[in-house]
Each structure stands twice: as C-alpha cells, then as structure tokens.
Amino acid sequence: MNESQQLDEIITCRINDSRKIVEPCTMIIFGASGDLTSRKLIPALYHLYTEKALPKPFRIVGFARREKSDQQWRDELKIAVEQFSRTQPIDSNVWTEFAANICYTRGDLSEASAYQALEQRLNSFGDERLRLNLLCYLATSPSQFGEVVEHLHNAGLLTRDDQQKFWQRIVVEKPFGHDLATAEQLNSDLTRFAHEKQVFRIDHYLGKETVQNILMFRFSNAIFEQLWNRQSIDHVQITVSEKLGVGERGGYYEEAGAIRDMVQNHLLQVLSLVAMEPPVSLDAEPIRDEKVKLLKSIRPLGVADVAKQVVRGQYFAGMIDGKPRPGYRQETKVKNGSDVETFVAMKLLIDNWRWSGVPFFLRTGKSLPLSASEVRVQFKPTPHVLFAEKCGGKLDANAITLRLQPNEGIYLRFNGKVPGTSLSVRPVRMHFSYNSEFGAYTPEAYERLLLEAMAGDATLFIRRDEVETAWGIVDSIRKGWENKPLTNREFYSAGTWGPVAADDLIAQSAHEWRNPQPAS
C-alpha cells in the first residue's frame, strides 16, 4: 500500500471487538406458539446462525401449551422463516443444521410439573453450560411474568446471579405494564427471584442501527456536540409516523392507544438519546443513568399543562395512496364511539442547564401519509441583518435531520447562493445515506438485541427506573385526558398529517411541523 492509499484508508475503530463473549447457552421461549416467535425471534436466530454469530453449542427450547413433537415445531418454524427471514432464499441444508438445535416442550405455564419436565430436557443436552446458562424469553402475557419466574426459581432454573460461573437472564417485551403502578408491580414480580441486572426489557427501537447511531453522531463529532444546546438550538421535532392503521390489533390498541403503544417507550427512548448528557463511559449503567436523568428533567405536566401542551387525535375514514381506508372506529374489535387516541403530539420542556427553554415537539400517529421516523434539530436563525433581513421570513434556519427509517441517513440543511447573476439564497441539503455509504444493509433489531442479551450487555435494554420514569410521564398525560372526550379538532382523516389541534399546538410556539419527506 503506498502512502496516498494509506491516507485514503478509512479508519474504523472497532470498539467492542474484545468485549462481547457469547457463551454456550439455551434460549427458552415461553409462549412459543405466538406470533413473535415465528415472525421475529426464530428468523433473527436463523440469520445469526447463518452469520456464525451464535455460540457453539446453542439450543432453543420452545415452551407452550399445545401438544407437538420437536419435528412438528421445526416444520412450522421452517415455514415461518421462509416467509419472514431477511436471509432469502432459505438454504435447506443450513436450516436442517440449525433446526437440529431446536426442540419443544409442552407445558402449562402455571404447572410446576411442566418446569420439571423442562429441567429434564435441559439436562438431557448433556452439557452443563446448556443446562445452566439460560436466556428465558417471556413471550407471554405480562400477567404471567410473576408466576413463570417463581416456577423457574422453584425448579432450579433461575438463581440470583452473584458472580457465579453460570448465568440466567430474563427477557421481556412490551407492554411492560399499563401504568406506573402495574409496571412497579411487574418489576417487583420479576426481581423477587432475580437481580435487576438479570432482567432485559426490550424496546426494539434501541436495536435499530440508526437509533444507536444517535450517540455516535453526538459524542464522536465535536462540530455537532458543541452546538447541541440551548445556545444554538431553537427546537427539536421527533416524528414517528406510520402509514398503517390499527388493522387487526384493535383489541390490544383499545387498551393501549398511541400514548402507551409508542410514546411511553419508543418516542421517550429516542428523546432521551437525543438530549442526554455524555455518559462517563460506554458501559450499560452510565448510559442508562444519563437516560434516566434526562427523563427526570422533563418538566412535569399537570392537568392544565396537558391541555396546553398535549394533543390527541383519532383517524376517521380517508384515502392513502389512492385507496380508501377505514376510520379507527370501524376497525375490528374497536368499541363504538371509542375515544382511544391513534395520534399524539406534545411539547415537552427539559429543565436542565443544556436545554432550558428549548421545546421538544414529539408526535406519532397511525394512518398518516407516510411511514417515517426522524429527529429534526432546528437551529436558531441568523441575526436579522444581511441576508435574513433581505429575505424577510423566507430564509430558513439550519437544521439537522436524523432519519431513523426508512431511507436511513442524516441531512444537514443550510442556505446557499442560487447560481446566476441575481442574488438569491435558498436552502440546500448535505446528505449522508446509510445505503450509499455502507451498502444496502437491513439490520433487524432482534438480531442485535438477542445477541446482546446472550452476551449480558444491558446497554440496549430498559432499566427498571427508566421504565418507571417513562410511565410517570405518560400517567400524568393520561390524567389530563380523564373524562375528556375527543373534540372535533382532534379527529383527522386517514392519510393526513394528524388533527388541526396538533398544528395549533406547534403554532403557539411560532413553529410548524416539518413533515418527513418520501424517498426521492
């Protein structure tokens, strides 16, 4: 390699090459016949297997109520993987090799004898690492977490991890509770027989490459981090829009609404990464400490604040991509006249030294014109002299948009002179695209999350105090909505960017929503 080639070589700093060790272990999936297993977990594990990322040896045990043999379950999973895997086509030989590690145990979650049978199954593997290193994935209803954990403990399958040679971990999915009180109850159920550090709460947004990149972007680039504060930033908009309606999930959604389904977890997670202080190290606890600190600095919302700072919405029938879409109240399993929100927009203020006075606008909704998640950081305008003065309100302030999905990338918007003899200024964009920089890569959050849980790295999982703080915020918003039916200004037609009330909300701060743009 000559000198100029050396200079051109892109330096990649591999941060955790020496850190992650995934020991041989067994992953037990409780509630294995559910959708999550066939759509997400097994396709993710299969992909990891093809990449040789799984430990050797490794086993997957499905635990559910229906009677079936190992082979029957493997056959069902093969069909699912053929449909849902991102590694297409499925190589039959590789599948057969992989499937040899999968087995099934029939059992009722509430029967002690089922856990004894499970224990025998694990023993039959004949390797103490496969019997004692256990990743217990609770793909069950949260109301069963407490009893599963207790049975696991009684059967000797879960012991507190006090620096022992082997480990057992519990992975849980959302919804993690229904409000703060139920989340606290779940947390105490889970930690009766395990330490908090053995509990891995998933928020699949944290497994997304672009969400992880928020910290890299902020803390490995001096030029941006120096501007990341109240002196330079005017306001921040976080949008997670979805084109899909509620569809078949009406039953679940009636209980959740957008605030529990999206805000309590995904939006507040993105906000905490965008706004947190630098952690003292890249280990799990310092990062999670800073996220909790940030959530705790959000100015509490009393009932009167909710009326001013939070807007709900619900879609009625409309058109998306030229096709008619039903209203929320016409979706399956939705109650007549339901007031459940399918859209939320809010203005949050963060009372700390860095962000005092900078509004953060968050919004999410279903049946919107486009599916896109992005963070737009809007900088303060230039002083009203020179170009700003000449252009009146037409000179746009700078903005950085972190496009989380799809068309993952980062845009920097600034003003440039339009070529020619006249003096015209207009916004132009600098664009970093993941696809053009790194090639077409569609990372699947579950692959990363499962591997991290097996490696025992909790950075991408939600800690107890984090989930509880987020529920505290959501509970105060829901309190503000109590006994208040939706008003006309809170309905929106499917295929539009939410209700008029959301535009009013941001207009009160003299701003406007910047809607994500489709791929160009």
**CB of 105 or CB of 373, closer to ligand BG6:** 373
SS3 category, 517: coil
- Answer for the pair 379, 399: CB distance below 8 angstroms, yes or no: yes
- The answer to the question of residue 242 lying near ligand BG6 (CB under 6 A) is yes
Binding map of ligand BG6 across residues 361-380, x = CB under 6 A, - = no contact:
------------x-------
SS3 category, 85: coil
Greatest alpha-carbon span in the chain: 85
Q: How far is the CB of 370 from ligand BG6 (least distance, A)?
A: 12
* 117 CB burial (10 A radius; 0-12, 13-18, 19+): middle
* 5 CB burial (10 A radius; 0-12, 13-18, 19+): exposed
Q: How far is the CB of 116 from ligand BG6 (least distance, A)?
A: 35
- The answer to the question of residue 173 lying near ligand BG6 (CB under 6 A) is no
**CB of 250 or CB of 456, closer to ligand BG6:** 250
- Which residue is at the shortest CB distance from ligand BG6? 261
- Answer for the pair 63, 32: CB distance below 8 angstroms, yes or no: yes
Catalytic residue among 151, 204, 235, 266: 266
Angle between helices 70-84 and 42-50 (to 10 degrees): 80
Q: How far is the CB of 268 from ligand BG6 (least distance, A)?
A: 13
- The answer to the question of residue 475 lying near ligand BG6 (CB under 6 A) is no
Q: How far is the CB of 281 from ligand BG6 (least distance, A)?
A: 29
Q: How far is the CB of 175 from ligand BG6 (least distance, A)?
A: 8
- The answer to the question of residue 261 lying near ligand BG6 (CB under 6 A) is yes
Q: Binding-site residue total for ligand BG6 (CB under 6 A)?
A: 3
Q: How far is the CB of 261 from ligand BG6 (least distance, A)?
A: 5
The residues with which 310 forms a beta bridge, in sequence order, are: 346
Cβ burial 339-372 (10 Å sphere, 16+ → b, else e): ebbbbbbbbbbbeeebbeebbbbbbbbbbbbbeb
- Answer for the pair 196, 464: CB distance below 8 angstroms, yes or no: yes
Please say if 195 is a catalytic residue: no
**For residues 294 and 179, what is the distance between their CA atoms, to the nearest angstrom?**
20
**CB of 189 or CB of 444, closer to ligand BG6:** 444
**CB of 99 or CB of 139, closer to ligand BG6:** 139
**CB of 178 or CB of 296, closer to ligand BG6:** 178
The identity of residue 162, as a single letter, is D
**CB of 59 or CB of 266, closer to ligand BG6:** 266
Cβ burial 399-424 (10 Å sphere, 16+ → b, else e): bbbbbbbbbbbbbebebeeeeeeeee
Q: Does residue 235 come out as left (phi exceeding 0), alpha (psi in the -120 to 50 range) or beta?
A: beta
- The answer to the question of residue 447 lying near ligand BG6 (CB under 6 A) is no
Q: Contact residues for ligand BG6 (CB under 6 A)?
A: 242, 261, 373
Q: Which residues are catalytic?
A: 266
